[in-house]
Amino acid sequence: MTRPMRVLGIDPGLTRMGMGVVEGSVGRPLTLVDVNVLRTSSQLPVAERLVSIEIGIDAWLDEHRPDAVAVERVFARSDSSTIMGTAQASAIALVCAARRGLPVALHTPSEVKAAVSGNGRADKAQVGAMVTRILRLDAPPKPADAADALALAITHIWRGGAQSRLDAAVAAARSRA
C-alpha cells in the first residue's frame, strides 16, 4: 500500500478557479479535505485578477499544506474565448506551487475523466456523480469547477499511486538482481 498523500487539484480559470484538496492512497477510501471556487470579477483588469488568484492559492497552500499540486493541462483551441485567461490563471497556479518546491503535475481533461469514470469522454454530470461516490459525499460539488478540481486531485492520487507501485517494483527487482 502506498503512503497517504494530500493533493490540491486546480481547475484553472480567470472567472472561476476550482480548488479541491483530497487525501488518501491507492486502494483505500479517499477523503475530501476542502473544496472552493475562487472568483474574480471581469470588471477588474487582468493583472489584478491574477494577483487575487495568487493570494487565494497561496492561502490554500499555507492552510492545507498539500504534498503535490495537480493542475488541468490547458490546450489552445480556437473555439474558446476564455482560453487565454485560463492559460494565464494556470500559470499562477503552477508558479505558486513550483516556487515552494511542491511537485506539480498536469493532467488532461480526458485523463481525468478516464481516471474517475473509466470513460475519457464522460460529461460533467458523470464526473460530478463519480466524484460524489468516490469521496462519499451527499451531493455532487457545485459548481462544476469544484467537482473538476476534486477529480484532478483524485486522478493525481490514483496515477501517482500507480507510479509509486511501479517504482517500488522496479526497485525490488533491482535489489534482487
Rounded Cα distance between 73 and 6, Å, is: 20
Residue 16 φ then ψ, to 5°:
-135, 125
Check residue 70 and report its DSSP letter.
Answer: E
Cell of 176: 534482487
Closest approach, Cβ 67 to its own copies, in A, equals 15
Catalytic residue among 72, 79, 123, 138: 72
Q: Is 126 helix (H, G, I), strand (E, B) or coil?
A: helix
Nearest distance, CB of residue 45 and its own copies, angstroms: 7
Q: Interaction with its own copies in 6-45: which residues (CB under 8 A)?
A: 45
Residue with Cβ nearer its own copies (29 or 45): 45
At closest approach, how far in Å is the CB of 173 from its own copies? 27
145 φ, ψ (degrees, to nearest 5) = -60, -35
Q: Decide: is 58 part of the binding site for its own copies (CB under 8 A).
A: no
Q: Confirm whether residue 34 is marked as ligand binding.
A: no
Which of 21, 38, 57, 104 touches its own copies (CB under 8 A)? Answer: 104
Asked if residue 99 lies in contact with residue 58, where contact means CB atoms within 8 angstroms, the answer is no
> Cα separation of 164 and 156, whole Å?
12
The residues annotated as belonging to the active site are 11, 72, 145
Binding positions for its own copies, rule: CB under 8 A: 45-48, 50-51, 54, 74-78, 80-81, 83-84, 87-92, 94-95, 97-99, 104, 106
